[in-house]
Chains A and B, each alone.
Chain A
Amino acid sequence: MASGLLDPPASTIEQEYRWTLNFGPQHPATHTTLRIVLEIEGEKVLNARPEIGYLHSGFEKIGEHLNYNQYVTVTDRMNYISPLANNIAWHHAVESLLGIDVPPRCQYIRTILFELARISDHLLSNGACALDTGAFTAFLYAFNQREVLYQVFETLCGARFTTSYTRVGGLMYDATPKFIEQVRQFVKNFPKVHADICRLLNRNRIFVERTKGIGVLTKEEAINRSATGPIARASGVTRDLRKDTPYLAYADFDFNVVCSTAGDCFHRYLVRMDEMLESVKIIEQALENLPPGPFNVPMADRTVLPDKTRVYNTIEGLITHFEVVMTNRGFQTPRDECYTAVEAPNGELGFYLASDGSETAYRARCRPPSFIHFAMFPHLIRGHLVSDIVAVLGSLNIIAAELDR
């Protein structure tokens, strides 16, 4: 048997154990549509090559064809697990381009909604991360709370999650007492459920062992790879736009920025869990201090549609209504470009708007946190096992519609 023909050269033996494994684009653990081509040796991942674009729907191109108010419907479908955050981010950017300051009541309502959106996002991302790593119960607990939040949103704007609630210079409707009552109820009950989920997961041996030390991102790498949001904060980058450049009403509230230094999947989970409690704190303070008064900018500004009673009963209201809806007579925009970002649940969600003076954006670029976070996936997974892929994906919270737009 010692014939030289049968002895394979040393390099071939090594290659024999190397596999190329295709993961996605339709796979339960991806939750969304993305594809990863893995190079594995046994169970160890040597390299990963992500392929995206399986949900690229041309959001930015649509943004050049819909006006500033219409485009909010498209932002709903961008990060579809926290649509209100996108609505607010979009109109916050438009208002900062136009130089509009919304009234305090609007700012407070938007802040409450933004934090509710953050809770619903973190519930799903943590729930799904737990689901993928084998803890089904926590997912159901989280989803139950999301159903409660859906009902709150439905009371507010009539849709479960494609809300389209904001408008340039204000909101679609004012918050009703019933909505406020429901939010009160939610923040009262939520800490208990939060504690339940923590009890299910924080010391759950399977969950902890599958996430601790997996997908470590150091602080330097987080900065070098443009990480933002909970992922950067779990790695020790103490940045939060709510504190750094306080927008909406965040300057009025007392809350902490949750950080960690470990930078692994487990700490990303912990940061998200604790952020939810901070959000509850913000919502409670905002509800206590919710200012009365108008929720839209004054009618004379000619940016928002006036109240229906004024349209039907006063001539000024009628004229304003028609001027706002007519093309060429709507609000004036400066010929300017502007980048405005907010701290979305997933990271820094910014819009780079270029305006040419018409009521449609000339260019509506969205800075998608998921896209930037997914780019570092090969780096995070290298050297780990195949089963760790789902833990890393879950902790990065990749939303395909935001990833591909």
Chain B
Amino acid sequence: MDPQALQTALKARFGEVAWQYSESPRGQRRLVVPAGQLESYLSFLKTQCGFDLLIDVTCVDYLHYRGARDRFGLVYILGPSTSGERLVVRCYLNEPDLTVRSAVPLWEGANWLEREVYDMFGIVFEGHPDLRRVLMPEEFAGFPLRKDYPLRGRGERHNFERITRNQS
């Protein structure tokens, strides 16, 4: 879908002020939407604008980012299944309310991707069928990809019992 038509469609559906569309010099297309309405935007993009392939779900923690106003930027990357264009849909989240509606009802593929974001950043997806940690152990506390979590961890990696030659 070409950018003009996309913006017209979005204007007709959501008004003019709620969202921002921009394009980078290298042709990256971004759409910033309000976090509360994320699901309806995604649903609209999927059903009306042809972006029926979910490419990726990820998140950026802007804690140490100079000049950032929001703590987390949640990113959904969409594309049509008929061409190679990509659209980055982003919404901002702040503590303490780190909750958005899940996109699993729209795309089955969002299931693990959202679990990973939950695992790494602690963002809660409402309506997700199975929101558990996916990469870290269940009992792990903390969210490793947040900027306030140290690279070398807090000692969890060596919190195990040791086996000597005699015991085995």
A binds B: yes
B84 with A339: CB separation less than 8 A = no
**Interchain nearest-CB distance for B116 vs A (Å):** 7
B107 with A52: CB separation less than 8 A = no
Contact among B55, B84, B134 for A52, CB-based, below 8 A: B134
> Complex: how many Å from CA A362 to CA B58?
14
> Interface centre among B77, B116, B135, by most A CB within 10 Å?
B135
> Complex: how many Å from CA A294 to CA B109?
43
Contact among B60, B83, B86 for A337, CB-based, below 8 A: B60
Which residue of chain B has the shortest Cβ distance to A238 in the bound complex?
Answer: B82
**Interchain nearest-CB distance for A14 vs B (Å):** 25
User: Which one of B11-19, B22-30, B37-45 is at the A interface?
Assistant: B22-30
Find chain B residues with CB under 8 A from A357 CB. 66
Q: A99-B26, A341-B86, A375-B112 are in contact. Are A365 and B144 (CB under 8 A)?
A: no
At the interface, yes or no: A60 with Cβ under 8 Å from chain B? yes
B56 with A350: CB separation less than 8 A = yes
**Interchain nearest-CB distance for B139 vs A (Å):** 12
Instruction: State the majority secondary structure of interface residues on B.
Output: loop
> Complex: how many Å from CA A372 to CA B110?
9
**Interchain nearest-CB distance for A25 vs B (Å):** 12
Find chain A residues with CB under 8 A from B134 CB. 52-53
> Complex: how many Å from CA A372 to CA B111?
9
Size class of the A contact interface (CB-based, 8 Å): 35 or more
Contact among B55, B60, B112 for A348, CB-based, below 8 A: B55
**Interchain nearest-CB distance for B14 vs A (Å):** 23
Find chain A residues with CB under 8 A from B111 CB. 375
> Complex: how many Å from CA A61 to CA B53?
27
> Complex: how many Å from CA A61 to CA B147?
9
B86 with A339: CB separation less than 8 A = yes
At the interface, yes or no: A90 with Cβ under 8 Å from chain B? no
B144 with A58: CB separation less than 8 A = yes
B84 with A239: CB separation less than 8 A = yes
Which residue of chain B has the shortest Cβ distance to A51 in the bound complex?
Answer: B134
Which residue of chain B has the shortest Cβ distance to A355 in the bound complex?
Answer: B65
At the interface, yes or no: B98 with Cβ under 8 Å from chain A? no
List CB contacts (< 8 Å) of B43-98 with chain A. Answer: 52-56, 58, 60-61, 64-66, 75, 77, 81-86, 88
At the interface, yes or no: A65 with Cβ under 8 Å from chain B? yes
At the interface, yes or no: B151 with Cβ under 8 Å from chain A? yes
A53 with B109: CB separation less than 8 A = no
Contact among B84, B113, B136 for A53, CB-based, below 8 A: B136
A354 with B107: CB separation less than 8 A = no
At the interface, yes or no: A200 with Cβ under 8 Å from chain B? no
Find chain B residues with CB under 8 A from A356 CB. 64-66
At the interface, yes or no: B6 with Cβ under 8 Å from chain A? no
At the interface, yes or no: A56 with Cβ under 8 Å from chain B? yes
At the interface, yes or no: A245 with Cβ under 8 Å from chain B? yes
Which residue of chain B has the shortest Cβ distance to A338 in the bound complex?
Answer: B28
At the interface, yes or no: A371 with Cβ under 8 Å from chain B? yes
Find chain A residues with CB under 8 A from B85 CB. 245
Find chain B residues with CB under 8 A from A309 CB. none
> Complex: how many Å from CA A116 to CA B131?
39
Contact among B26, B56, B66, B113 for A338, CB-based, below 8 A: B26
Q: A96-B26, A375-B111 are in contact. Are A237 and B81 (CB under 8 A)?
A: yes
B60 with A372: CB separation less than 8 A = no
Find chain A residues with CB under 8 A from B86 CB. 339, 341
At the interface, yes or no: A11 with Cβ under 8 Å from chain B? no
B81 with A223: CB separation less than 8 A = yes
> Complex: how many Å from CA A211 to CA B66?
54
Q: A52-B134, A339-B86 are in contact. Are A226 and B54 (CB under 8 A)?
A: yes
A61 with B151: CB separation less than 8 A = yes
> Complex: how many Å from CA A371 to CA B134?
11
At the interface, yes or no: B100 with Cβ under 8 Å from chain A? no
Q: A339-B28, A365-B58 are in contact. Are A60 and B108 (CB under 8 A)?
A: no
Q: Mark A364-390, 1 if CB is under 8 A from B, else 0.
A: 010100011011100100000000000
**Interchain nearest-CB distance for B126 vs A (Å):** 20
Which residue of chain A has the shortest Cβ distance to B137 in the bound complex?
Answer: A53
Contact among B56, B81, B107 for A239, CB-based, below 8 A: B81
List CB contacts (< 8 Å) of A312-351 with chain B. Answer: 335-339, 341, 348, 350
Which residue of chain B has the shortest Cβ distance to A243 in the bound complex?
Answer: B84
A341 with B145: CB separation less than 8 A = no
Find chain A residues with CB under 8 A from B133 CB. 53
B109 with A375: CB separation less than 8 A = yes
Q: Mark A44-65, 1 if CB is under 8 A from B, else 0.
A: 0000000011001010111011
B58 with A223: CB separation less than 8 A = no
| Given A52-B135, A363-B61, A365-B60; 5 other pairs, CB 8 A cutoff | A53-B133, A61-B145, A367-B58, A372-B109, A376-B109
The 10 closest A-B CB pairs, nearest first, are: A244-B84, A226-B109, A53-B135, A375-B112, A245-B84, A56-B135, A367-B56, A365-B58, A225-B109, A363-B60
